[in-house]
Amino acid sequence: MNQHIEMDSVTLADLRPEQQGEILKIDSADGVFKRRMMSLGVVAGTAVTLDRSAPLGDPRIYTLMGYSLGLRNTEARQIRIRLK
Amino acid sequence: MKSPVTVALVGNPNAGATSLFNALTGAQSAVANYQRVTTSLSTREISHRGVSLRIVDVPGIFSTSSQSPEEKIGCDYLHGEEPDVIVNVLDAGHLDRSLFLTTQLIETGLPRITVLNMIDEVRRAGIRIDTAMLASALGSPVVETCALKKEGIEALLDAVVGVVSAPPVTPLRLHYDSHLEAAIDRVQQHMAELHPQELSPVRSRWLATKLLEGDDEILRHESNHVELVDEIRGEQSTLAHEHDEDAATLLASARFAFSNGLLREVRQQTEDPTAGFKLTRILDDVFLNRSLGLPLLLGILWVMFEATFSLGAIPTDWIKAGVQLATDLVDKTLPEGMFHDLVINGVMAGVGGTIVFLPNIVILFFFMAVLSGTGYLARASFLMDRVMHHFGLHGTTLIPMVAGFGCNVPAVMATSVITNKRARLIAMLISPFMSCSARLPVFILFAGAFFSNIAGTVVFAMYMASIGTAMLSAVLLNRIIPGSGSDAFVMELPPYRLPTMHSVLHHMWDSAQGFVAKVTGVILVGSVVIWFLQEFPRNIVYSQDFETAITEMESRADSPAKDEALRSLKATQAQEKLEKSYLGRSAIAVTPLFEPLGFSWRESASIMTGFVAKEVVVATYAVIYAQEKQSDGLTAALRGAMPPATAVAFMIFTLLYAPCLSTIAIIAREARSWRWAGFSVAYSLTFAWILALAVSKIGQHLL
């Protein structure tokens, strides 16, 4: 159904500071991780921006649902987004 | 009506449930501005308008179904206990995220009250919330509070009493799309058949929803009903097939759709919605700056230890003067004799020598309260995550580590925030290396004696050494302990907040009380024991006849040379008496072990007694030197007793060797094994010995 969106989708780790992203899907087989991320508001349709990166570029702080969430790039790469 | 009525405070981590608990019950539970300060349930009973209420503070959860181990206590409580009323504590500034939990709580069917906490922050940002509309949409009363300022507490208690005295209302029901509803219906039906008469319709629907969501815990309960398990798997795969998403995602999306829609109705943003957190952005531009962030973190810690040393010096002088006054008074009133010596050289020296560090400890705790209360500690773990990751540690480990600066016991307990079992064990084993406040007196004494110009920096360096050793040892433990796996770094960065005066003062008061209790307890007893050990046996066979020599010397004509000779004779005698006492003999027996490090029997004695609690190290020194009648004080006596390199080696050894008895006990409890506690002792002794040796060898060339 949304296969072509998936084709050119990028991950949260690719988001640049000036860009606006929208969450599409969590690509992980780990159910606990997935449910944990969802309970933090990482669900399809949520708007997300990159707030800032730690001194070595990892982890990074994202803004979503009006709060700041710190995530490592390993985890961010499992979250697919669409650039707006 | 049940009595007492159980009222559970449930909310996201850092939503302020514990502050609310304190405001409601008058408790003094620890609060700070980062997640998961509360790691266990606490309960207090109060009474309001004649109704007795059992208030339970539940550790924060984001969801009832995420099943991450740090949320386990909270989730288990909701599943197992069924409180009479749920007080759902929401951070009013973060409603978009926190209403998710609310949607799950609605499904439990239990009576609820919705609390919009930290409402002041929202008002300041110019946001208005229509509470009447919110209440009718959520099917619960809504109360606005500001727990730290104790605002809205009466209204909340009234609402609780109102809910328990009112007749039960039909619980609200969330509606999902038709496929999901049908699947929930079928599973619910099946559950009801398997457990006839046990489950209310609300409860069975809740369980059905959670089973579809993939709640392994509930599934395990039902594991003997093979058909049910098969049915759930079937429903899940059909849903996944029809919607291209798993059931958990469908349910989560539906819940967020509900809360997003609701918020569009009830919330009016009169200004820029991020306006309230503008200050946080500005501060983060500085504190999380890519080039400035880490140097600033170091700088802040340096200021903290420098101030601990130098600001502490002033009140310390007053206490010293007070101790001197008391000693003189006792000296004059008590008749000469053994009891006189015990009080002056044992109790007054040991207790008085330790109590002078009270100001330093209180100042250290002031800084720790500010760091954790403002939200900076969460930033520090964010900044350090990458560095710590290299050492096989997790950024959030920093919080238990910094807590370790106060005391290692809560630090070991705080490792329960770490999900992975092995990672947790490693964090537990490295926490005794964190320099707790019991070691602070040793550093302040030695740094003041040997490096008075840069004493604050030396103290700071010792703390850095403690972090460094902890990290190095994590690398080693990662190799020794079998297994693998680490946690994801998922952490909310809360907005900066001003800690309340009350909580900071409470922190300082608490630390002062704890320290005084220790001084008047273990230190007092320790000083008395040490005094007896160094005073006995009395029938010492001296290497020369001191009595005759002294009498002979006294009969000579007065001259400066005579005074000098007499003083030296008496000192030699006192020295020999100490060395032949029980304390001296046992210390001398183990001294060969410490000789490579340059330690004399005095250091060995302090190290041995310090096993009990590290404050005793200073008390032992004080008692030994009081006995040797060094008039120019402990500081000068120490300066004469060893070269600076040995002093540094001794500080390093004290920093690292064997955790105190309480810490050993807590490791055994938390790791559920005395073997790991024993390992911790052996491991830290080895580490301490090797590093102290290295420091003393290198130091001999440098200092």
Q: How confident is the model at residue B299 (pLDDT cuts 50, 70, 90)?
A: very high
Minimal CA separation from B400 to chain A, in Å = 18
Give pLDDT, residue B486.
Answer: 62
Query: Is it true that the peptide bond before B295 is cis, omega within 30 degrees of 0?
Result: no
Judge if B645 and B582 occupy the same domain. Answer: yes
Residue B187 lies in a domain: yes
Quote the radius of gyration of chain A (alpha carbons, Å). Answer: 12
How far apart are alpha carbons B143 and B161 in whole angstroms? 13
Judge if B458 and B532 occupy the same domain. Answer: no
Question: What percent of chain B has pLDDT above 90?
Answer: 35
Task: Establish if A37 touches chain B: CB-CB under 8 angstroms.
Answer: yes
Beta strand segments in B431-572, E = 490-493
For residue A77, report the phi and psi dihedrals to the nearest 5 degrees: -70, -15
How far apart are alpha carbons B529 and B295 in whole angstroms? 46
Residue B256 lies in a domain: no
How far apart are alpha carbons B144 and B98 in whole angstroms? 15
Query: How confident is the model over B136-158, as a mean pLDDT?
Result: 94
User: What ipTM does this complex have?
Assistant: 0.91
Judge if B333 and B391 occupy the same domain. Answer: yes
Domain boundary among B112, B139, B165: B165
All residues at 6 or more sequence positions from B54 whose CB lies less than 8 Å from its CB, including other chains: B4, B5, B6, B7, B43, B44, B45
Task: Establish if A43 touches chain B: CB-CB under 8 angstroms.
Answer: yes
Q: How confident is the model at residue B688 (pLDDT cuts 50, 70, 90)?
A: very high
How far apart are alpha carbons A31 and B213 in whole angstroms? 10
* Chain B residue numbers touching A44 (CB-CB < 8 A): 245, 249, 253
All residues at 6 or more sequence positions from B552 whose CB lies less than 8 Å from its CB, including other chains: none
Give pLDDT, residue A7.
Answer: 47
pLDDT at B680 over 80: yes
Between chains, do B491 and A58 touch, taking CB under 8 Å as contact? no
Number of domains in chain B: 4
Q: How confident is the model at residue A3 (pLDDT cuts 50, 70, 90)?
A: very low
Judge if B476 and B548 occupy the same domain. Answer: no
Q: In chain B, whose CA is at the least distance from the CA of A66?
A: B94
Judge if B404 and B429 occupy the same domain. Answer: yes
B67-114 pLDDT tens trace: 677 788 888 888 888 899 999 999 999 999 999 999 999 998 899 999
Query: Could you tell me the residue range of the domain that residue B529 belongs to?
Result: 521-702
Lowest mean per-residue pLDDT among A30-39, B126-135, B302-311, B546-555: B546-555
The number of beta carbons lying within 10 Å of the beta carbon of residue B625 is 22
Q: In chain A, whose CA is at the least distance from the CA of B93?
A: A66
Minimal CA separation from A19 to chain B, in Å = 17
Residue B493 lies in a domain: no
How far apart are alpha carbons B280 and B58 in whole angstroms? 28
Q: How confident is the model at residue B116 (pLDDT cuts 50, 70, 90)?
A: very high
Query: Could you tell me the residue range of the domain that residue A17 belongs to?
Result: 3-83
Domain boundary among B480, B512, B530: B480
B235-258 pLDDT tens trace: 999 998 888 888 999 999 999 999
Judge if B433 and B532 occupy the same domain. Answer: no
Task: Establish if A71 touches chain B: CB-CB under 8 angstroms.
Answer: yes
pLDDT at A5 over 70: no
What are the tokens at B67?
A: 């099943």
The torsion region of residue B26 among left (phi > 0), alpha (psi -120 to 50) and beta comes to: left
B566-593 pLDDT tens trace: 777 777 777 788 888 888 888 888 888 8
Based on DSSP, count helices (H) and strands (E) in chain B, helices before strands.
Answer: 33, 9
Between chains, do B67 and A32 touch, taking CB under 8 Å as contact? yes
Give pLDDT, residue B632.
Answer: 61
Q: How confident is the model at residue B297 (pLDDT cuts 50, 70, 90)?
A: very high
Query: How confident is the model over B402-416, as a mean pLDDT?
Result: 80
Number of domains in chain A: 1
Judge if B187 and B154 occupy the same domain. Answer: no
For residue B112, report the phi and psi dihedrals to the nearest 5 degrees: -130, 160
Longest distance between any two alpha carbons in chain B, whole Å:
113
pLDDT at B152 over 90: yes
pLDDT at A16 over 90: yes
Query: How confident is the model over B331-342, as a mean pLDDT?
Result: 86
Between chains, do A36 and B62 touch, taking CB under 8 Å as contact? yes
B497-532 pLDDT tens trace: 988 888 899 888 988 888 888 888 888 888 888 888
DSSP string, B331-380: HHHSPSSHHHHIIIIIIIHHHHHHHTTHHHHHHHHHHHHHHHHHTHHHHH
Judge if B212 and B153 occupy the same domain. Answer: no
Judge if B42 and B152 occupy the same domain. Answer: yes
Between chains, do A70 and B489 touch, taking CB under 8 Å as contact? yes
Which of B214, B294, B494 has its CB closest to that of A55? B294
How far apart are alpha carbons B605 and B586 in whole angstroms? 8
Lowest mean per-residue pLDDT among A57-61, B36-40, B451-455, B660-664: B36-40
Q: How confident is the model at residue A2 (pLDDT cuts 50, 70, 90)?
A: very low
B614-662 pLDDT tens trace: 888 988 888 888 766 555 678 888 888 889 999 999 999 999 988 888 8
Residue B259 lies in a domain: no
Judge if B631 and B667 occupy the same domain. Answer: yes
List, as ranges, residues 45-104 from B with C-beta within 8 Å of A.
Answer: 62-63, 65-68, 93-94, 96-97, 100-101
Mean pLDDT across chain B: 87
Between chains, do B493 and A70 touch, taking CB under 8 Å as contact? yes
> Residue A37's domain is classified under what CATH number?
2.30.30.90
Residue B277 lies in a domain: no
Give pLDDT, residue B294.
Answer: 92
Judge if B232 and B318 occupy the same domain. Answer: no
pLDDT at B606 over 50: yes
All residues at 6 or more sequence positions from B225 whose CB lies less than 8 Å from its CB, including other chains: B194
Give pLDDT, residue B268.
Answer: 87
Count how many pairs of residues, chain A against chain B, have C-beta atoms within 8 Å.
128
